[in-house]
Chains A and B, each alone.
Chain A
């Protein structure tokens, strides 16, 4: 019994090693010892060791032996965190715009491919599947050499949940690690969810849907159609004879493939609306946006809906009219948005951060710092960038904390995360070690004196 069980496993390990090993350079075993380990899944270990082998965490603890074949990193004065996860990203897709406005219309719309709509006729209703590319998979679009991957990694991120973000049904997201020679080896989960934006199909001539109520009705109909489509296919596969075949529909295939739906909710009224909507859709939902979620903590808690909070806090547009005065409501939104994460943590709502176009460590630190100043604890901030997003996307068995057997995604810092002076020393992605290049020094300007 024992051998028959072991044999396939050994084979698989060997097979994977052969596949992965092709590209791997340098040692595959590391041990970071005498270091502070913030596991996230449990209390921090003040003086411990983390052993990484073949892309996985082999051991973690206070009394772990360093394997003889390991490259040893002296961890005194360093802290090891799980690699950070960008919970709603466009990293890895070249030329993608940051995620679209979460319903509030605050940020610009996304670029990327528009749904190939049929040119011959005006779209009249949901049956024409307007603005729907639910079958598009970010997993198929990841480019390993995209520079945004390295930028994110240098800031301490090891994983991103990247979604296509054009159209109402933008497509399916991917959870992938921020290193690898080929996109295929980077992917952790190829189907992270369907990204939905509440935006009109656009264009002149009154294409459906052109209003919020139209968009909601449309999304609802698509999900009803998808359930019906699934049933029809099941019945047909059992009785292919004597039954008319259900028409193949790629937009419904895409929806059915997807384990969850991402819905936009920046303002409190949108949080309320989308929680109800998710219930109607009968799907597991994740909200994104969150500017005003501090006002809707109870709603979120009661419904158990997790929310992704943008780290790009609302601020006055840089090219705003200097004489224009912002309304009290606008000022309140700007003032209170960074209080959202603290309020969510206190209220026991599951939430994760997403970078929303921010990429450098400095920008991200500054953003998280504002949330910390507004009442978020350091531990909760770390969790919102590690274990919480992993849980929200159902990959916490492999990502998000420093535990034996999980993927070796680590960030090793000198100083605590999010502090101004903190340096990212090493980043481990799938067990590969990276040392972030020092940020390029600002180009020196020639002053008159030096000319």
Chain B
């Protein structure tokens, strides 16, 4: 999308100089003269954003730079909030085919005590590649058969995982047991095998185990509150406390209709705050989803339909249908190397009935709201993290160039492996 030119390279050198001069100044600046798409109300023409210490200190038309504050000219440019990918394994997995680079899954069915952010590799090659398309934060999602751990929303910039964390325990990931998996894609890896009877047995056992586990967490809570003698701290059950209290949402992966219904029933029974994840067949369960007010994280729109006889555009029309039904949804990549294509996944839904504004929301403010981090990211508003991009057009279009990208107010380097390979092979002897 953006390849470094000699000019921008000079810019980087200058920026580098600035960094060494006064470190405190790097995430304090005034961006002015651009059209600001705040995603939290009307667009601001000829607007300015004041950033102080990595946070947005003001947004509006009549801002002026306090003395000594660096000014970035945005004339003729657009500003959008940084894109959020609400489902990836970035930082947890580098090359899926190379076992040592994979840290997505722990052995066992109940691993709520695992925290994704602690395992994130800040040096992942996927990070610069992904943010080059305007994605500023991603949900690092552990995966596994049932409860696979706490997913962490991370910024795609930082030297350490502490610096990268937006919210350490964003959601608890639960993969709903499903008979027959999800037809080869999605749940296929975890799908039950064998005859229907065998699968049903496994399914029933998994559901029973899940319910028991939640009950155990409740008993643990009571024992702890009663200071009962012999109370033994347990990391697993401790990690479940915010979940059973309804503070931490459970991200439930349920691809097919039956699994989605099971997930809703389960959430009701256990009184959980749930988010449906990768709910490809959500369009079949819209009434229940709406009546329960459950948000949905959809997978890619540029994908094959689940069923042989589904219409070719089935995944692309789902976002528009959910929107019309009044269901809050985000679109996520559920990928690593293709997280960078998230804006175009959202864009495809526009061609199949989703209003353009809503497509942008599905990868910014909606994702932030669904993940419970709307006070930090997702829009350009005072008090939020200064995550935004300065672009020459609509970020949903491939030809749009990102001029500058800010994460926590830092002007991040847009160079990445793709650029390096591009330069390398452009200069190959002919």
A residues apposed to B, CB below 8 Å? 319-325, 327-329
Contacts and interface: CB of A to CB of B under 8 A. Distances in A.
Contact of B196 (A319, A325, A327, A329): A319
A321 B180 contact: yes
B265 to A, nearest CB: 15
User: A-B pairs with the 5 shortest C-beta distances?
Assistant: A327-B308, A319-B195, A319-B196, A321-B196, A328-B309
B195 to A, nearest CB: 4
B197 A319 contact: yes
8 contacts: A319-B196, A320-B196, A321-B199, A322-B196, A324-B180, A327-B307, A327-B309, A328-B308
From B196, B197, B199, B258, name the one whose CB has the most chain A CB atoms within 10 angstroms. Answer: B196
A323 B262 CA distance: 14
Nearest to A325: B307
B179 interface: yes
Interface of B: 179-180, 195-197, 199, 258, 307-309
* Chain A interface main SS type: loop
B428 to A, nearest CB: 34
* Chain B interface main SS type: loop
Contacts, number: 19
Nearest to B258: A323
A234 B179 CA distance: 61
A97 to B, nearest CB: 18
Contacts of A323: 179, 258
Contacts of B308: 327-329
B202 to A, nearest CB: 13
From A322, A324, A325, A328, name the one whose CB has the most chain B CB atoms within 10 angstroms. Answer: A324
B330 to A, nearest CB: 28
Contacts of B195: 319
B261 to A, nearest CB: 11
Contacts of B180: 321, 324
Nearest to A331: B309
Nearest to B200: A321
Contacts of B199: 321
B142 to A, nearest CB: 29
Nearest to B198: A319
Contacts of B258: 323
A236 B258 CA distance: 70
A321 B199 CA distance: 9
Contacts of A325: 307
From B180, B258, B307, B309, name the one whose CB has the most chain A CB atoms within 10 angstroms. Answer: B309
A323 B196 CA distance: 10
Contacts of A322: 196
A323 B309 CA distance: 16
Contacts of A329: 308
Nearest to A322: B196
Contacts of B307: 325, 327
A321 B308 CA distance: 17
A377 to B, nearest CB: 35
A188 to B, nearest CB: 40
A319 B194 CA distance: 10
Nearest to A328: B309
Contacts of A327: 307-309
A323 B180 CA distance: 10
Nearest to B179: A321
Contacts of B197: 319
A315 to B, nearest CB: 15
A322 B195 CA distance: 12
Given A323-B258, A324-B180, A327-B308, 12 more contacts: A319-B195, A319-B197, A320-B196, A321-B179, A321-B180, A321-B196, A322-B196, A323-B179, A325-B307, A327-B307, A327-B309, A329-B308
A166 B309 CA distance: 35
B108 to A, nearest CB: 25
A319 B200 CA distance: 11
A325 to B, nearest CB: 7
A322 B258 CA distance: 12
Contacts of A320: 196
A351 B196 CA distance: 36
B184 to A, nearest CB: 13
A445 to B, nearest CB: 23
Contacts of A321: 179-180, 196, 199
A329 B197 CA distance: 25
A324 B182 CA distance: 11
A241 B258 CA distance: 77
Nearest to B199: A321
